[in-house]
């Protein structure tokens, strides 16, 4: 189809104050643990979203379980999530998601932006994903300028805890995904050229508490049950199970004490990334078997906390069709769109697990995310806003 029939909507999307918003929002530290910064960020986003013709709300996060270095289980508070609902009775319902948190805590030295000689902008969270949030709102400005707007209803969720696994927002996202024809998530493109993420593995994060028995390391070590040794044995057993369809990363062991005491407590932290739901099932069985064997052989008690918060996201038929639609919209706008598997995970994993086709890298082009070299390519803001607007309008037309 000729995209000129949507010229006004596309121009409206591209004209949104995306760069100004991105830089202003990037100046607010909103590391996942910085509740004051997240409160400020949520207020700014709510103000920007108030221009949309729907209900804007800030939603409290569900409590997130944590396990400290001594194996004690508690909970942690996360920031509020932004939720917007527009035209919930419209025939075409779409979910749009993003996150306001970054990986840079309040005491991180990377706190301001600078323009690089080639025009890129180096700054914390500009690509991941405050630029994406600006694109999302710009695209919705475009939709609202189209006569097709009455055919499109949408829910918008910007959560505050994506970088740590969305434990406090997963239920909110799952509820919002119900009944949606498609979803767009505004994570940054996977390459500076704009590639989309296709299939993604799942991700499980476990805190495995090992309880042994203390004893004097010289007088009667045989009476002790060394939790550090048991945790290390478990880490090795899990690591040996890694392969092309399952990555396993034992990341840390907490515990221990004086050299003359057999350690009675240890906590093993491990990340597992299965490629498909069947691989996740095998990983769960592997964990259960390894825990049982180590507990029996070392005579220790083992308790697992955490789990697979990000389900695998294989590409299925509905998702293939949505990717093809985005590619075709890109062609209409003279953008070359392709996609490839990604090793990362995001809220797109959770949305796909609800049976909703999702493109989860509709955000800015940039690079070096999660580092002090993170950068945004500013010309990608209007480019990607136009793309997202056209995709939603094509969905409204029945694509």
Measured CA angle at 110 (ends 184, 379), to 5 deg: 45
> What tokens were used for 45?
């986003």
C-beta of residue 159 within 8 angstroms of C-beta of residue 335: no
pTM of the prediction? 0.95
Domains, in order of start, for the chain: 3-68+75-200+313-396 (3.40.630.10), 203-310 (3.30.70.360)
Q: If pLDDT is split at 50, 70 and 90, which confidence band does 5 have?
A: confident
Specify the pLDDT at position 265. 97
In the block, which residue shows the tokens 């093809």?
324
Q: Position of tokens 């994570």?
A: 187
| Residue 1 scores a pLDDT above 60 | no
Residue 359, pLDDT > 80, answer yes
Task: Kindly state the average pLDDT of the residues 349-362.
Answer: 98
Nearest to 80 by CA among 136, 48, 35: 35
* Contact between 188 and 348 (Cβ < 8 Å): no
Calculate mean pLDDT across residues 316-330.
97
Residue closest to 290 by CA, chosen among 231, 246, 247, 249:
231
């Amino acid at each position: 189809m000729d995209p000129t029939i949507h010229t006004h909507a596309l121009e409206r999307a591209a004209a949104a104050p995306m760069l100004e918003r991105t830089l202003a929002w990037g100046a607010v530290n909103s590391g996942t643990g910085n509740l004051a910064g997240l409160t400020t960020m949520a207020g700014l986003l709510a103000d920007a979203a108030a221009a949309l013709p729907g209900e804007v709300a800030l939603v409290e996060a569900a409590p997130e379980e944590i396990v400290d270095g001594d194996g004690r289980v508690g909970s942690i508070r996360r920031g509020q999530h932004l939720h917007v609902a527009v035209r919930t009775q419209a025939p075409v319902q779409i979910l749009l998601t993003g996150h306001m948190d970054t990986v840079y805590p309040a005491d991180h030295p990377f706190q301001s932006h600078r323009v690089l000689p080639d025009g890129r902008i180096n700054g914390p969270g500009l690509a991941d994903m405050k630029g994406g949030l600006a694109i999302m709102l710009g695209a919705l400005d475009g939709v609202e300028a189209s006569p097709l707007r009455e055919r499109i209803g949408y829910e918008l969720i910007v959560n505050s805890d994506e970088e740590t696994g969305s434990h406090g927002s997963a239920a909110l996202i799952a509820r919002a995904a119900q009944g949606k024809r498609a979803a767009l998530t505004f994570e940054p493109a996977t390459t500076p050229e704009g590639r989309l993420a296709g299939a993604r593995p799942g991700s499980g994060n476990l805190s495995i508490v090992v309880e042994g028995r203390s004893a004097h390391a010289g007088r009667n070590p045989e009476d002790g049950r060394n939790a550090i040794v048991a945790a290390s044995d478990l880490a090795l057993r899990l690591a040996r199970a890694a392969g092309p369809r399952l990555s396993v990363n034992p990341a840390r062991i907490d515990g221990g004490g004086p050299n003359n005491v057999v350690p009675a407590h240890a906590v093993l932290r491990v990340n597992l990334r299965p490629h498909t739901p069947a691989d996740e099932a095998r990983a769960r069985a592997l964990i259960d078997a390894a825990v049982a064997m180590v507990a029996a052989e070392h005579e220790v008690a083992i308790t697992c906390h955490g789990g697979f918060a990000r389900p695998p996201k294989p590409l299925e038929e509905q998702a293939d069709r949505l990717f093809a639609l985005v590619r075709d919209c890109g062609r209409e706008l003279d953008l070359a769109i392709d996609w490839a598997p990604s090793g990362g995970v995001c809220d797109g994993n959770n949305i796909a697990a609800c049976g909703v086709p999702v493109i989860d890298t509709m955000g800015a082009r940039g690079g070096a995310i999660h580092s002090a070299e993170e950068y945004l390519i500013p010309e990608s803001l209007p480019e990607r806003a136009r793309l997202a607007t056209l995709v939603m309008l094509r969905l409204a037309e029945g694509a």
